[in-house]
Amino acid sequence: MRTGEPAGTPRAPGMKYAHYAPKGSMRVVLGDDPEAVAEWMRRDLDAAKARGERTGVLTYDERRGLHHADAVISSGRLAEPETIARGLYAALRQFDREGATYILAEGCPDTGIGRAVMNRLLKAAGQEVIRV
């Protein structure tokens, strides 16, 4: 820490707590079974809708059909993780355009490029993770 710098101050933009976070609240959902993850997300999103939230799901091309929300947005293809890395911030900005106030994001494999994607997702979600 440099002299005169408040404790906990990020030293670079990428170190911010919720770097590129959407305006709505967001959580990352992790699980090994895509069907179980989608079912948990459906129930949670139904409850959010009942509270008056405008819901969003961040998912992948291969899993789009599993989800129902006011805004279901894909950040890319799991089979081509580089597409997810390239499309993530645009997808997060789309939630703002859609007016989503409650967003659930599917996690991805935490290997290779997926590790960087998960790092960005967790920052955008303020480190809020749900394990199914």
Residue 19 has pLDDT above 90, yes or no: no
Q: Rounded to whole angstroms, how far apart are CA atoms 105 and 27?
A: 6
Alpha carbon distance 36, 121 (integer Å): 20
Q: What is the number of other CB atoms lying within 10 angstroms of the CB of residue 91?
A: 20
3-state secondary structure 106-119: ECCCCCCHHHHHHH
For 26-43, write each residue's pLDDT tens digit: 999 999 999 999 999 999
- The CB density around residue 25, as the number of other CB atoms within 10 Å, is 16
Give me the pLDDT at residue 20, please.
74
